Structure 1
């Protein structure tokens, strides 16, 4: 029997990719299979668009592209604020790609912090001397939730945002740091509610819990986030970086805590329970059936967990 879940999930490393950056005046431009597009609104303000229709699934092809963007964010001398958003209706960013073979991910080296690439990149984003904002419209599950949590601020569409860490329903531990980040944002009980149920959290509940800064009417979300980003982009870069570093010192989890979560993830995805449950999800139509992707916690909640016939 094929084991696509294990084959895809043991993901490590970064490598070079072709440029993802649009000309400053041109807006996002894709070249080849581009899943992450960068629009330089101004030298101080960039929009990063997640673009992998139909479901914005994150996979091995996405790793080097995200690494390239985060490296540029870290190094650009003029950049002050970056906004992550999606142009795929119904989806901000979802889970890892369950299809590619193991060698597509395990052949990549660790990132600059010496960690596998996903936790490495998310830590670097949190600690970059640039303000990062996640504008969440549509489903942000798994990696999508973790990218949002790694960003400095999160703003959600009241009508269209859905956040979740669905992984428990598929039999494995989240790997991108939500167990380390969520308790600081919402407290232990609510953090456990999110990661132990795998249920959807809509925009309003996310605001009440502290999962996001605010939820706004969908029609107001773009203008609100753009106005905030424009305002921040006019401030002194070093002052922004200094303020952020001071807040980071008392609010971010240690690299070691993120690393422990990743280790737990790697161990859990190799267990029979994860292999069985993800096989059931694939049979239901994961990554093919729009209803499965839109209502992932519903499908994980009704899995039997029994070993399928070989």
Structure 2
């Protein structure tokens, strides 16, 4: 599928989804959010895609925020609709995606950009990355899950400070805060992230999908994550991947998971 605002590249099971609006520092507008939704929907159905790496074009920005010009004159109701639709179509969609999603954060990840990176299952950053939620400087609050996911990742106090000051932290601070898992040189970012993806691909995608559901259940109100884990654990025994994985282990060979 051809897109105007993003580029997709499949490299031996690793799908790169690249936000490609360099003149706008890859800012998110409605069209880009829709295209990302379509790309992730296609990736979910494509059996050749095992892992998704999400990044921005160039070295200046992952995503420098939302396109403010699109909603500067919105009413309260339009604002609620904007947040609800964006969360459903992209941010929650990515967070609950059944295949591993890694955000490769190159440069600025601000506002909606940081919210998109946080929706990924984990993050790798270049050492020139800058991250923040500056919405309060616009008279807003984060609307794409930022007030929920940031405290989950960095703790309530640090999240409150970042949101209230509307300031940025650098990659080193993000690593200290557990906001990112790794930091590397900008020209090594994609290669480094691909190496992690390759390690992931050695394992059972069926099991990883179950693990994503179980881990996410811990953050859902009214859901007992332990019960979800027990259910997903039990269901794993009925999969072909379990049979292959245990057989390979017992026979001291490398597993070749069928993905079923």
| TM-score class normalised by the smaller sequence | 0.7 to 0.9
What is the CA–CA distance in structure 2 between the aligned matches of 1:212 and 1:125, rounded to whole Å?
17
Secondary structure in 1 aligned to 2:214? helix
Q: Is 1:147 aligned to residue 108 of structure 2?
A: no
1:168 maps to 136
Determine whether 1:202 maps to 2:170. yes
Who is 1:298 aligned against? none
**Contact in 2 for aligned 1:80/1:240 (Cα 8 Å):** no
Is the 2:14–2:194 Cα contact (8 Å) retained in structure 1?
A: no
1:157 and 2:129 aligned: no
2:203 alignment partner, one of 235, 259, 265: 235
Residues 223-274 of structure 1: CA deviation (Å, up to 9, x unaligned): 2111111221232221211222222222x3559xxxxxxxxxxxxxxxxxxx
Matched, 1:72 2:42: yes
Q: 1:177 — aligned with what? A: 145
Query: How far apart, in 2, do the equivalents of 1:41 and 1:94 lie?
Result: 26
Partner of 1:289: none
Name which of 159, 165, 174 aligns with 1:191: 159
Q: Which of 224, 228, 233 is the aligned partner of 2:192? A: 224
Q: CA deviation at 1:217?
A: 3.0
The residue that corresponds to 1:129 in the other structure is 98
1:61 pairs, out of 21, 26, 31, with: 31
Q: Tell whether 2:44 aligns with 1:85.
A: no
Matches within 5 A, 1:272-287: none
Deviations, residues 280-302 of structure 1 (Å, cap 9, x unaligned): xxxxxxxxxxxxxxxxxxxxxxx
Report the Cα distance in structure 2 between the residues aligned to 1:231 and 1:91, rounded to whole angstroms. Answer: 26
RMSD (Å), alpha carbons: 2.4
1:80 CA displacement: 2.1
- 1:78 to partner: Cα distance: 3.8
Equivalent pair of 2:10/2:49 in contact (CA under 8 Å): no
Question: Unmatched 5+ residue regions in structure 1?
Answer: 1-18, 21-30, 256-310
Unaligned residue ranges in structure 2 (runs of 5+): 223-260
1:167 positional shift? 0.4
Number of the residue aligned with 2:85? 117
TM-score (norm 1): 0.64
TM-score if structure 2 supplies the norm length?
A: 0.76
Q: CA deviation at 1:75?
A: 2.7
SS state at 1:134 partner:
strand
